[in-house]
Amino acid sequence: MDLTAVRARLDQIDTQLLDLFCERLRLAGDVAAAKAETGKAIFDPAREREKLFGVAKRTPEEYRPQATALFSLLMSMNKAEQQRILAAGKPDSISAQARASLQPVDEPFPATATVACQGVEGAYSQIAATRLFRTPGITYFGTFEGVCRAVRDGLCQYGVLPIENSTAGSVNAVYDLIAAYRFHIVRSIRVKIDHNLLAKPGTDLASIREVWSHEQALAQCADYLDSLGVRVHVCENTAQAASAVAQSERTDVAALSSRACAALYGLDVLASDVQDSDANYTRFVVISAEPQIFPGATRTSLMLTVSHEPGALYRVLERFFALDINIVKLESRPIPGRDFEFIFYFDLDCPVGSASLATLLDALDDVCERYWYFGSYTEVL
């Protein structure tokens, strides 16, 4: 059989496959209705296992991996369709809540707002806030929890918090607080972090015996600090370290901080850009007590847990693949007190108005133990 004939036969087979695939998805409505009536869960592991076993037994051995992968994906698509159908009439579904929080197309992200930040003037969170809002009214708090309480209690409309660093990874405490307070991410920005060694005027670099800063800044400059042979002291944030050095009577201490803090606190720059990596960025997010999705949102953030069993994470990833949703971040961390179980952070690249995202938001319950939808937003670069 020549190539033209082979391709013609493949086209015939593909047409049959497509027709059968569409019919299979249409039957998802009948399956969903039957399960809703009987109270059965969407995910039936015994049925799925039996189905895949039968597929493997009927498939020639050399094609078994491909066949089981294909049918696993088909079942995942079918389950997602069932979830979509069942959620369609529920006003409290995640997708319905997301649609309800969409702002009018002529309502841009606010230029002026009251904003809570952790730290003091000159902190990187303040730098992020002034880039996110044209004229923010900033109130400072000593802890991330303080920022969250201010937003929860209505003292500030928004909070700005660091959520991820390109070298140190996710800020787990912030993820946990967003989940605990049921906050929503409405914007994010990447800020280039350039650490500078700051000291009182007239101080010589050779006289420095101790460096103060936030623990992540100290970690990001570990090689440089090792070369100096200095001790380190952890502060709440980099700007607070600069303020403390300025107020200290010691002449052998310096701070790792932003260049803006040098002018702000009357310090000299002893060394510039001392971080170990030039590609050092921190992502900051804007949190809100109320769900808000502004026009043009393409980034979605989720946090979820899965059961401790083989294939648990695969079923989640398979659902993303089935819906053609791009994952731009996947990170895990252990769940305290639960051996070998993990929390997973996902950032997705998908327009907020897409049918795929709406389906996904209503189609995760059967493939994970629990998940949090943090919101859909625009990331400012």
Residue 369 lies in a domain: no
Q: Which pLDDT tens digit goes with each residue over 129-151?
A: 999 999 999 999 999 999 999 99
Contact 270, 197 (CB under 8 A): yes
Given 225, 248, 271, the domain boundary residue is 271
Torsion angle, CA of 348/352/355/360, rounded to 10 degrees? 40
Lowest mean pLDDT among 63-67, 112-116, 216-220: 216-220
Give the three-state DSSP class for 279. coil
The contacts of residue 186 (CB under 8 Å, 6+ apart) are 109, 158, 286, 287, 288, 292, 293, 294, 375, 377
* Residue 189 one-letter amino acid: I
**Count of domains for the chain:** 2
* DSSP letter string, 347-364: EEE--TT-HHHHHHHTS-
Going through 107-240 in order, the beta strands assigned E by DSSP cover 112-118, 135-141, 158-165, 169-170, 184-192, 196-199, 210-213, 231-234
Q: Which of 271, 286, 310 is the last residue of a domain?
A: 271
The answer as to whether 17 is a domain residue is yes
Which pLDDT value is given to residue 44?
A: 83
| Residue 55 belongs to a domain | yes
Helix axes 3-38, 64-88, angle to 10 degrees: 40
Predicted confidence (pLDDT) per residue in 52-77, tens digit: 999 999 999 999 999 998 998 898 88
Q: Does residue 145 lie in a domain region?
A: no
Rg (CA), the chain: 26
Q: Report whether pLDDT(87) > 90.
A: no
Query: Can you tell me whether residue 307 is helix, strand or coil?
Result: coil
Q: How far apart are CA 318 and CA 367, in angstroms?
A: 10
Given 215, 237, 271, the domain boundary residue is 271
Asked if residue 373 is part of any domain, the answer here is: no
- Beta 210-213 vs 253-257: how paired, if at all? parallel
In whole angstroms, give the CA distance from residue 216 to residue 143: 15
- Which DSSP letter does residue 26 get? H
User: At how many degrees (to 10) do helices 64-88 and 45-58 cross?
Assistant: 150
pLDDT for 183: 97
pLDDT at residue number 36: 82
Q: What is the pLDDT of residue 185?
A: 98
Could you tell me the CA-to-CA distances from 98 to 189, 290, 352, 377 in Å, in that order? 21, 11, 9, 11
Mean pLDDT, all residues of the chain: 92
Q: Would strands 135-141 and 112-118 be described as parallel, antiparallel, or unpaired?
A: parallel
pLDDT at residue 111 greater than cutoff 90: yes
Average pLDDT in the 348-361 region?
Answer: 92
Domain presence at residue 223: yes
Domain that holds residue 74: 1-88
User: Is there a domain that residue 71 lies in?
Assistant: yes
For the stretch 304-354, pLDDT in tens is: 998 888 778 888 998 898 889 999 999 998 887 777 788 999 999 999 989
**Residue at 122 is within a domain:** no
d(CA 69, CA 56): 10
What would the pLDDT profile of 238-258 be if each residue is shown by its tens digit?
A: 999 999 999 999 999 999 999
